[in-house]
A and B are shown apart, each in its own frame.
Chain A
Amino acid sequence: MAKKMLDGNGAAAEALRLTRPKVVAVYPITPQSTISETMAEFVDFGKLDAEYIRVESEHSAMSACVAAGLAGVRTTTATASQGLALMNEVLSMASGLRIPMVMPVVNRGLAAPWTLQCEHGDAMNARDTGWMQFYCQNVQEIFDMILMGVKIAEDSRVLLPMMVCFDGFFLSHSMQKLEIPTQEEVDEFIGEYVAKNMYLDTEDPMFCCDLTGPEDFTEMRYQQKVGMDNATVVAAEVMDEFAAKFGRKMTQVESYLTEDADAVLVALGSMNGTIKYVVNKMRAEGKKVGMVKLTQFRPFPAALVREALKDVPVVGVFDRSSCMGNYNGPLWNETAGALTRTNVDLRHFIGGLGGRDVPAVNVERMFNELLEIKAGTRTENTEWIDLKEGAMEIRQVTKYVRD
């Protein structure tokens, strides 16, 4: 174990290197670009024994990785935002063919309008492609989650790809002192790659992914669903094993001061650091607030979420994506499903879009609104929590449209 200063992208690249992928196909995109550069450096300068495919698009990056996975090697890529959207068609190939790859996704919003900065809309857009999704709070978690991700994805009970999601710039470009295990320790933890999915081998010919009719399609989907279900069990085991070996424990669903709480906020990603800070501050003022941080979003750990929240009077779910036309946001929807037939008063917040910060003052405002709802002095919460005044007058899209 050594200590190193790395930013989120550096931690992701270092973790990927230690998992010894044999084929790396990456296309640069802000704010992921330094992962594509660092992986190329590793390969060019002999720090990673792998083939680096300098693809011409994210679509080709994912295509090359899926095919390399079928040819029997551990493979990886990384992306963000528009790149993830471009990959979308091939994402379901990776999951359907049971390629157990791990891909860092550096969360950034989707155009239009163009944004380079953080929100979760890109990953939410891909949440039903059959990939696991785990979200990180800090740089050490990115590093740890990638190592654990490889072990979870490659477990024969799972065999599914995983996105390790982390907030663009807030994490990708923030330096943190990390604990980095040795290559031997990582080898011992994740083991040598053994292809267990469908394969392309001239000694044992098989045709992968031919046309399948209604007679088999449902069962093949069901097998994927079972793999997804198993991932919740496997992730718990792997997180325990990781903690025993490396001394750092991540949990799928982390509850913080929820037991006696009047109000709890649920969120994904880096903002959980801020939420925890505000919980401590408000607790010191005698306000009973708590936090539930979700690391695991796909498969959605419904039983764990239900257990964490079922007795909390008022729960606010914070979505860092706008999810147009959806009734509330994706994280709210999933949480609401998990809390079916409970008496939890479930509220929804949207904010932090397109790189807008989620400062402590906004978190405190959300908690205070939830507490007022609990006290009966307020009925509605402010859903778009960081919306500016006069929102409809700011660069209004239809203002100058001629009749």
Chain B
Amino acid sequence: MLEIKDEARGLISHGVSACHGCGLEIVIRKVMDALDDDVIILIPPGCAALFSGYCKETNVKVPGYQGNLENTAASASGIRAALKAKGNDHTTVLCFCGDGATVDIGLQSLSGAFERNDKILYVCYDNEAYMNTGIQGSSSTPLFAATTTTPGGKKVRRKDLTQIAIAHNIPYVATASAHNIADLQKKVKKAREADGPALLHIYAPCPTGWRSNPAKTIEISRLAEQTGCWINFEYEDGKVTINSKVKELKPVEEYTKLQGRFKALTPEQKVALQEEVTSNYNATMKKLQFMSE
């Protein structure tokens, strides 16, 4: 065993072998910093499984379980029920899942847990594809983005996870981004206190999969918000608060030009993508504003 000379300050150990500029690494450290050690974490296979560890070593200081790809929410329900049966109503049951494990294969079990109103804190870190298995497209991959299973660019738009969650009428749903840690951590704390399931959908850039400069992870995250590709808001007990304050949207190209996954866009596709982002942004903001009144 290694001699530990410098204890990790947070609940995640130092020296995890994440890629350079990994958005997920920022997100998991900051989410855990906003909590304490009264947490049980569930991590399905995926990039976050780096934090589950390997063989005898783990990178999290709280108890954890790596279940199957699609059953994180159901496993969390089982843990919550067991804790309840043992008279424990204080431990946070935290799911930490990628977009594939959430919006694709895990959507059924997530919907079940939402409907049962099981008290779980579900974090979806969204890097917009199956990154751990080699950048395959997911239903969170945006329009025209190239992945290894959408090599000619994705032909359809992404799923709207937060609207799916809100349709279940759960107490807390929020989006957050890797570039706004104060906002993210405030939402983690609120989500933990929710009287039922809480969903945090967190934007987490992936330089490896997006073919972007690892030094620009935060810049890309900020640009996603500034161009209207990502909207930060929260939904609390039926009411929406919009956190993204963008006076005028920047052109989408300022965001896409930093990422190799959009490199092959034709001039026509660039126009179409701008139109799609603008119309989706306007429609979503209209909906959110309606829900905030």
Contact = CB atoms under 8 A, between A and B. Distances in A.
A64 B74 contact: yes
B99 interface: no
A157 interface: no
Interface in B154-203: none
A64 B76 CA distance: 7
Contacts of A89: 68
Contacts of A213: 54-55
Contacts of B53: 207, 210-211
A222 B153 CA distance: 46
B10 interface: no
Contacts of B150: none
Nearest to B118: A53
A68 B79 contact: yes
Contacts of A53: 77-78, 81, 116, 118
Given A54-B116, A205-B61, A210-B52, A64 B66 contact: no
Interface string B35-75: 00111101000000100111110101111111110110111
Interface stretch (A70-78, A171-179, A223-231): A70-78
B86 A212 contact: no
Contacts of A90: 67-68, 71
Nearest to B61: A205
Contacts of B283: none
Contacts of B85: 22-23, 50-51, 73
Interface stretch (A55-63, A261-269, A319-327): A55-63
Q: Interface size for chain B: under 10, 10 to 19, 20 to 34, or 35 or more residues?
A: 35 or more
A202 B91 contact: yes
Main secondary structure, interface of B, reads mixed
Contacts of A60: 71, 73-74, 77, 108-109, 112
A25 interface: yes
A90 B72 CA distance: 12
B84 interface: yes
Contacts of B62: 202, 205
A93 interface: yes
A200 B63 contact: yes
Given A207-B53, A211-B66, A213-B54, A64 B78 contact: yes
B83 interface: yes
B63 A66 contact: no
Contacts of B70: 59
Contacts of A69: 78, 82
A93 B115 contact: no
Interface in B76-122: 76-79, 81-86, 91, 108-109, 111-112, 115-116, 118
Contact of B82 (A75, A205, A210, A215): A75
B75 A207 contact: no
B82 A209 contact: no
Given A51-B81, A71-B79, A211-B49, A63 B68 contact: yes
B78 A25 contact: yes
A73 B82 contact: yes
B109 A63 contact: yes
Contacts of B91: 202
B81 A64 contact: yes
Interface in A191-209: 199-202, 204-209
Contacts of B63: 199-202, 204-208
A93 B68 contact: yes
Given A51-B85, A93-B67, A209-B67, A70 B79 contact: yes
A201 B65 CA distance: 11
A23 B80 CA distance: 10
Contacts of A204: 63
A205 B40 CA distance: 9
Contacts of B49: 210-211
Given A199-B63, A210-B66, A211-B66, 5 more contacts: A59-B109, A66-B78, A67-B77, A202-B91, A209-B67
Top 10 A-B pairs, shortest CB-CB distance: A64-B78, A56-B112, A71-B82, A60-B74, A67-B78, A63-B71, A51-B81, A67-B75, A207-B58, A68-B78
10 contacts: A23-B82, A50-B85, A63-B109, A64-B78, A68-B82, A71-B86, A73-B82, A205-B37, A207-B58, A207-B66
Interface of B: 37-40, 42, 49, 52-56, 58, 60-68, 70-71, 73-79, 81-86, 91, 108-109, 111-112, 115-116, 118
